[in-house]
C-alpha cells in the first residue's frame, strides 16, 4: 500500500469541511451513502432522481449549481470537478478507472453507470476507502 | 486643421496637438482637439478592411440614420460583411448578450443598457478598442445639436459632454480592454493621410481618460507621449460571485482551465474578459472549449 493511500483517510477528513464549504448541498441531502435511518436504496434513488451536476461522497460535496464549480472533461475522457472557492478537486477517469480527491488517489473497487438521461450520466463509484465511501459523480460531460 | 501635408499629418499631430491643448481639460480640451483634427474636406473611401475577411459592403460605423446630413469622413466608413450591414441597421454599439445574427468577428443582437435592453452590435475583442476610438472621434469632431433615433443612447445633443453615461462607460471600457496597437496606428494613419487629419484618440493614447475617464477634469499633460492610459486591471481568476460595483470586469482565466480555451457566456462567444454590466445581474454559465478539455461553471453577478 502506498504512503498516499495510508494517508488518504486523514487527507479526506482534513479536506472534508473545506470541500463542503459554500456547497452545503441540497436540503435534506445526507451524502452519497445512507445515513441515519435512511435505507441505502432510498439514498441512491434520491441521488438518481437529481440531474444536477455534482460530486457527492460522505465527506465531500461539490454542487455545480451552487456556482463557482468548474466541471468538465479532458481530452483523455477524464472527468473533473473543481470548486474554485475552496480549490477542492475531484478527478475521475471512468476508463481506468481512477479516482483522485484533491490529488490523492482513492482505490476504486467498482464503477457503474447507474442512469443516463440525455447527456447526463450518473456514475456510482465504489471505493475501498471507508472515508470516501460510495461516490456519486453526475455530469453531462 | 493646420495646412500640413496629409502624408505627414499623422506623424506630426501629436506634437501639434500638444502645442494647442496642453493644460486644457474638459469641454475646452475637447473643443481645441476637435478643431485641430477636424478634416477640411472629409472623404469616404470604403477602405478594404482587415476587420473582417469577407468584407464587401460599405458600412458606416455611426449609422447614417443618426445624423442629418451625415458628414463624409474616412474614419466612419469601411467595408464590412453584407450580413453585418443588413443586420446592424441603426443599432447602438454594446455588449451583445443574446445574438440574433453573427459572423466571424461581429455580432448583432440585444444587450443591456442600464436596467433596460436594446438592439446592439459589437465586434471581435481585438477590435473593440478600434471601434470605440472611431466612435469617440466622430462624437468629438461632429457634435450635433440634435442626434436622431437611437443615437441618443450614446451621444448627447448640443455638444459637451458629447457622450451619454452609457456611451462613456462602454467606449472607455472597450478602449481599455483593447489598447492601441501597431495595426490600428497604421490603419488610422492611412485614413488620416487620405483626408489630411488624424484621430486624436489613436495619436494621443489616453486622451479619452482626460475627457471622460479617470483623469477627467485634469489638464492634459504637456508631454502627451507619456503613457497616460491607466494600467489595465489585473486579471482576476474566475470566482463564484461578482459585484458590478466592486469588480466591473470578469476575466475568463483559471488555473483549472487551459490557457488556450475559448469561452462563451450563456451561449454567446466572449473574449478573454467581459464587463459585468454587459452580462447583467443574475446567474450565468461560462463554458470553455480547448483542444485538451471542455467544461463550464456557473457564476453570479450582483449589482
Query: What cell numbers appear for B1 in the block?
Result: 486643421
DSSP secondary structure code for residue B51 in this structure: S
How high is the pLDDT of residue B237? 87
The two beta strands, B282-289 and B293-302, are antiparallel
Query: What cell numbers appear for B217 in the block?
Result: 477634469
How high is the pLDDT of residue A7? 45
Mean local confidence (pLDDT), A90-99:
93
Mean local confidence (pLDDT), A63-82:
95
pLDDT band at A26, cuts 50/70/90?
very low
pLDDT band at B235, cuts 50/70/90?
low
Which residues on chain A are in Cβ contact (under 8 Å) with B295?
70-73, 80, 141
Question: Could you tell me where the DSSP H helices lie in chain B?
Answer: 6-21, 26-37, 82-88, 128-141, 165-177, 182-195, 200-203, 207-211, 276-279
Mean local confidence (pLDDT), A34-51:
76
pLDDT band at B239, cuts 50/70/90?
very high
Mean local confidence (pLDDT), B67-88:
92
How high is the pLDDT of residue A18? 52
Mean local confidence (pLDDT), B60-65:
95
How high is the pLDDT of residue A1? 40
Sheet containing A134-139: which strands, arranged edge to edge? Answer: A61-63, A54-56, A134-139, A120-127, A108-117
pLDDT band at A21, cuts 50/70/90?
very low
How high is the pLDDT of residue B21? 61
φ and ψ at B272, to 5 degrees?
-75, -15
C-beta atoms of A73 and B295 within 8 A: yes
Diameter over CA atoms, chain B: 58
Nearest to A84 among B256, B288, B296 (CB): B256
Mean local confidence (pLDDT), B250-274:
89
Query: What cell numbers appear for B3 in the block?
Result: 495646412
Closest chain A residue by Cα to residue B288: A72
φ and ψ at A127, to 5 degrees?
-120, 160
pLDDT band at B32, cuts 50/70/90?
confident
> Would you say B123 and B51 are in contact if contact means Cβ atoms under 8 Å apart?
yes
Nearest to A73 among B239, B293, B298 (CB): B293
Which residue numbers of B have CB closer than 8 Å to A's CBs?
Answer: 237-241, 254, 256-257, 283, 288, 291-300
> Would you say A90 and A63 are in contact if contact means Cβ atoms under 8 Å apart?
no
Cβ atoms within 10 Å of B218's Cβ, excluding its own: 13
Q: Could you report how far apart the first and last alpha carbons of chain B are, in Å?
A: 45
Nearest to B254 among A67, A70, A141 (CB): A70
How high is the pLDDT of residue A137? 96
Q: In the predicted model, is pLDDT for residue B229 greater than 60?
A: no
Mean local confidence (pLDDT), A46-58:
92
Q: In the predicted model, is pLDDT for residue B281 greater than 80?
A: yes
Cβ atoms within 10 Å of B77's Cβ, excluding its own: 22
pLDDT band at B298, cuts 50/70/90?
very high
Query: What cell numbers appear for A54 in the block?
Result: 455534482
The mean-pLDDT minimum among A17-26, B140-149, B273-282 falls in: A17-26
Specify which residues B69 forms β-bridges with.
Answer: none
How high is the pLDDT of residue B91? 96
> Would you say A113 and A16 are in contact if contact means Cβ atoms under 8 Å apart?
no
ipTM value > 0.90: no
Amino acid at each position: 500500500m502506498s504512503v498516499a493511500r495510508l494517508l488518504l483517510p486523514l487527507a479526506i477528513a482534513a479536506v472534508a469541511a473545506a470541500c463542503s464549504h459554500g456547497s452545503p448541498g441540497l436540503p435534506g441531502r445526507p451524502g452519497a451513502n445512507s445515513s441515519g435511518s435512511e435505507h441505502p436504496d432510498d439514498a441512491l434513488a434520491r441521488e438518481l432522481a437529481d440531474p444536477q451536476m455534482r460530486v457527492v461522497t460522505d465527506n465531500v460535496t461539490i454542487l455545480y449549481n451552487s456556482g463557482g464549480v468548474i466541471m468538465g472533461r479532458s481530452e483523455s475522457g477524464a472527468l473533473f470537478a473543481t470548486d474554485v472557492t475552496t480549490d477542492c478537486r475531484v478527478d475521475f477517469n471512468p476508463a481506468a478507472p481512477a479516482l483522485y480527491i484533491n490529488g490523492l488517489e482513492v482505490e476504486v473497487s467498482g464503477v457503474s453507470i447507474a442512469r443516463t438521461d440525455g447527456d447526463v450520466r450518473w456514475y456510482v463509484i465504489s471505493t475501498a476507502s471507508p472515508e470516501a465511501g460510495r461516490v456519486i459523480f453526475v455530469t453531462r460531460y | 486643421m493646420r495646412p500640413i501635408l496629409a502624408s505627414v499629418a499623422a506623424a506630426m499631430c501629436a506634437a501639434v496637438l500638444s502645442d494647442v491643448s496642453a493644460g486644457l481639460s474638459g469641454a475646452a480640451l475637447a473643443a481645441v482637439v476637435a478643431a485641430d483634427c477636424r478634416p477640411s474636406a472629409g472623404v469616404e473611401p470604403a477602405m478594404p478592411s482587415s476587420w473582417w475577411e469577407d468584407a464587401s459592403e460599405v458600412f458606416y460605423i455611426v449609422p447614417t440614420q443618426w445624423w442629418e446630413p451625415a458628414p463624409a469622413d474616412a474614419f466612419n466608413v469601411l467595408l464590412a460583411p453584407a450580413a453585418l450591414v443588413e443586420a446592424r441597421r441603426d443599432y447602438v454599439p454594446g455588449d451583445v448578450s443574446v445574438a440574433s445574427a453573427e459572423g466571424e468577428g461581429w455580432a448583432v443582437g440585444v444587450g443591456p443598457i442600464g436596467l433596460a435592453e436594446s438592439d446592439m452590435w459589437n465586434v471581435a475583442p481585438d477590435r473593440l478598442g478600434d471601434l470605440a476610438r472611431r466612435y469617440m472621434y466622430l462624437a468629438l469632431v461632429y457634435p450635433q445639436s440634435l442626434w436622431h433615433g437611437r443615437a441618443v443612447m450614446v451621444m448627447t445633443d448640443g455638444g459637451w459632454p458629447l457622450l451619454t453615461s452609457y456611451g462613456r462607460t462602454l467606449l472607455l471600457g472597450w478602449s481599455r480592454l483593447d489598447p492601441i496597437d501597431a495595426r490600428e496606428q497604421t490603419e488610422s494613419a492611412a485614413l488620416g493621410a487620405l483626408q489630411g487629419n488624424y484621430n486624436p484618440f489613436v495619436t494621443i493614447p489616453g486622451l479619452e481618460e482626460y475627457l471622460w475617464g479617470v483623469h477627467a477634469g485634469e489638464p492634459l499633460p504637456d508631454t502627451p507621449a507619456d503613457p497616460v492610459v491607466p494600467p489595465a486591471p489585473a486579471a482576476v481568476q474566475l470566482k463564484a460571485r461578482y459585484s458590478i460595483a466592486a469588480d466591473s470586469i470578469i476575466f475568463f482565466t483559471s488555473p483549472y482551465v487551459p490557457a488556450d480555451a475559448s469561452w462563451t457566456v450563456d451561449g454567446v462567444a466572449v473574449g478573454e474578459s467581459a464587463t459585468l454590466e454587459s452580462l447583467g445581474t443574475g446567474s450565468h454559465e461560462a463554458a470553455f472549449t480547448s483542444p485538451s478539455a471542455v467544461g463550464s461553471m456557473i457564476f453570479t453577478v450582483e449589482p
